[in-house]
């Protein structure tokens, strides 16, 4: 039998002195199995993941579950509720510009300290269990910093505390104007076939502050230490993914069902759904290394039509954007074209026609391959 419990976790307090909390849904089965952690909307304008979690909870309640699935929708109640004009200023703390998705905990030194205590004869399940407890304690210690922590970091660490018990972490995001793509750690490349995502980015063991990295970097680093010390393979298989499921500022219930189905496939593959028959779709999947995932910045300011659409292949030299120059509307300099510097596939583009110089116009796959 599957039991659902719902609680609320306080993650911040506002200037009126009121606590701001997030809902935490836990679905647990009688059968042992992995722990999966899924959150959405750490960037406040990226709301579609909330719908995906809605569909997941609706579906999972009716299923036999092995292990536990923890779901935290709308996990950033501050970011979701900052409006600036009609849009949501959800990417960073409006006080200081801190990206809401860069304050998770990782410390390579602390992994090394632990690795040094492991004995060659220790079995992998023991190591896993001990490291998890150790890492949880590290997060607690960070949270208890004597001089305190910034808001984004407090929020991140409280969420990470929930996620630390998980074998897989799914962080649900959206791009500005975007097509579906997913970030997958290189060591787990095969997971690309377990989701229904047409575009996959493979990322190395480098920590830049996000939850997926904060999830796998400690284990990956531990594994490398142990393999180097003891000269044999270790597989902890703790993994984190960032799923980009279309455009920010938009909710679509029907699209959410597609992504929920995709995640159910992954859960089934991980053994969470012993009675489920979820199979990932036969589809073309395209992959790039993170170093081939490029950002095209502007070196001009102006007003832009985005001609190249996210998800559509663009050949070198093809027009990607057309720019209006309001001071030259009477002559041929009134508009000019931006062309593709190489073959590429746009994943996303800037959501406003008005851009300053130095704007991230497009993010694109280059040197991509079918996988």
Shortest distance, CB of residue 171 to a second copy, whole angstroms? 17
Sheet holding 360-365, edge to edge: 177-178, 345-349, 360-365, 293-297
Q: Are 293 and 363 in contact (CB under 8 A)?
A: yes
Binding of a second copy at residue 245 (CB under 8 A)? no
Binding of a second copy at residue 365 (CB under 8 A)? no
Shortest distance, CB of residue 4 to a second copy, whole angstroms? 5
Give whichever of 99 and 165 is closer to a second copy, judged by the CB atom.
99
3-state class of 296 per DSSP?
A: strand
Burial class (CB in 10 A: 0-12, 13-18, 19+), 145: exposed
Give whichever of 145 and 279 is closer to a second copy, judged by the CB atom.
145
List CB contacts of 61: < 8 A, sequence separation 6 or more.
2, 4, 27
Q: Are 285 and 85 in contact (CB under 8 A)?
A: no
Q: Are 23 and 41 in contact (CB under 8 A)?
A: no
Q: Are 2 and 68 in contact (CB under 8 A)?
A: no
Selected binder of a second copy within 114, 350, 365, 368 (CB under 8 A): 350
Q: Which of residues 176-195 bind a second copy (CB under 8 A)?
A: 176
Binding of a second copy at residue 147 (CB under 8 A)? yes
Give whichever of 50 and 130 is closer to a second copy, judged by the CB atom.
50
Q: Is the dihedral of CA 147, 24, 263, 311 positive or negative?
A: negative
Using CB under 8 A, which of the segments 28-36, 94-102, 210-218, 266-274 binds a second copy? 94-102
Give whichever of 60 and 191 is closer to a second copy, judged by the CB atom.
60
Shortest distance, CB of residue 50 to a second copy, whole angstroms? 6
Q: Which of residues 248-307 bind a second copy (CB under 8 A)?
A: 249-253, 294-305
Binding of a second copy at residue 122 (CB under 8 A)? no
User: In angstroms, rounded to a whole number, what is the distance separating the alpha carbons of residues 85 and 83?
Assistant: 6
Binding of a second copy at residue 150 (CB under 8 A)? yes
Looking at the chain, how many residues does it have? Answer: 371
Binding of a second copy at residue 1 (CB under 8 A)? no
Shortest distance, CB of residue 304 to a second copy, whole angstroms? 6
Selected binder of a second copy within 54, 195, 197, 220 (CB under 8 A): 54
Shortest distance, CB of residue 78 to a second copy, whole angstroms? 7
Give whichever of 41 and 223 is closer to a second copy, judged by the CB atom.
41
Neighbour count for residue 100 (Cβ, 10 Å): 23
Binding of a second copy at residue 58 (CB under 8 A)? yes
3-state class of 150 per DSSP?
A: coil
User: In angstroms, rounded to a whole number, what is the distance separating the alpha carbons of residues 126 and 124?
Assistant: 5
Q: Are 99 and 90 in contact (CB under 8 A)?
A: no
Q: Are 31 and 13 in contact (CB under 8 A)?
A: no
Q: Which of 165, 189, 160 is nearest to 42 (CA)?
A: 160
Binding of a second copy at residue 346 (CB under 8 A)? no
Selected binder of a second copy within 258, 324, 339, 371 (CB under 8 A): 324
Binding of a second copy at residue 23 (CB under 8 A)? yes
Give whichever of 70 and 127 is closer to a second copy, judged by the CB atom.
70
């Amino acid at each position: 039998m599957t039991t659902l419990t719902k609680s609320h976790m306080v993650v911040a307090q506002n200037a009126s002195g009121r606590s701001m909390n997030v809902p935490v849904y836990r679905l647990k089965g009688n059968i042992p199995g992995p722990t999966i952690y899924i959150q959405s909307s750490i960037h406040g304008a990226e709301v579609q993941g909330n719908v995906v979690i809605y569909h997941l909870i609706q579906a999972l309640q009716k299923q036999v579950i092995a292990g536990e699935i923890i779901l935290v929708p709308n996990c950033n109640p501050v970011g979701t509720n900052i409006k600036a004009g009609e849009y949501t200023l959800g990417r960073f703390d409006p006080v200081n510009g801190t990206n809401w998705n860069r304050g998770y905990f990782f410390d390579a030194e602390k992994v090394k300290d632990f690795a040094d205590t492991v004995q060659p004869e220790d079995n992998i399940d023991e190591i896993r269990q001990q490291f998890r407890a150790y890492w949880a304690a590290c997060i607690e210690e960070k949270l208890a910093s004597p001089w305190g922590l910034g808001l984004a970091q407090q929020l991140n660490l409280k969420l990470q505390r929930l996620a630390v018990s998980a074998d897989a972490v799914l962080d649900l995001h959206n791009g500005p104007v975007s097509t579906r793509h997913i970030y997958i750690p290189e060591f787990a490349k095969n997971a690309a076939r377990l989701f229904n995502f047409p575009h996959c980015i493979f990322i190395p063991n480098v920590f830049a502050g996000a939850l997926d990295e904060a999830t796998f970097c400690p284990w990956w680093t531990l594994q490398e230490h142990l393999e180097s010390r003891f000269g044999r393979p270790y597989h902890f298989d703790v993994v984190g993914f960032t799923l980009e499921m279309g455009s920010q500022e938009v909710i679509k219930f029907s699209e959410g069902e597609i992504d929920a189905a995709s995640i159910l496939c992954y859960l089934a593959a991980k053994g969470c759904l012993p009675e489920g028959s979820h199979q990932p779709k036969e589809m073309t999947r395209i992959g790039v290394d993170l170093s081939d995932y490029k950002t095209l910045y502007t070196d001009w300011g102006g007003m832009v039509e985005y001609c190249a659409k996210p998800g559509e292949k663009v050949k070198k030299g093809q027009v990607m954007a057309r720019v209006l120059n309001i001071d030259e509307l009477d002559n041929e300099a009134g508009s000019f074209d931006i062309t593709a510097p190489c073959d590429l596939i746009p994943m996303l583009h800037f959501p406003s026609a008005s851009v300053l110089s130095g704007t991230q116009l497009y993010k694109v796959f280059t040197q991509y391959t079918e996988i």
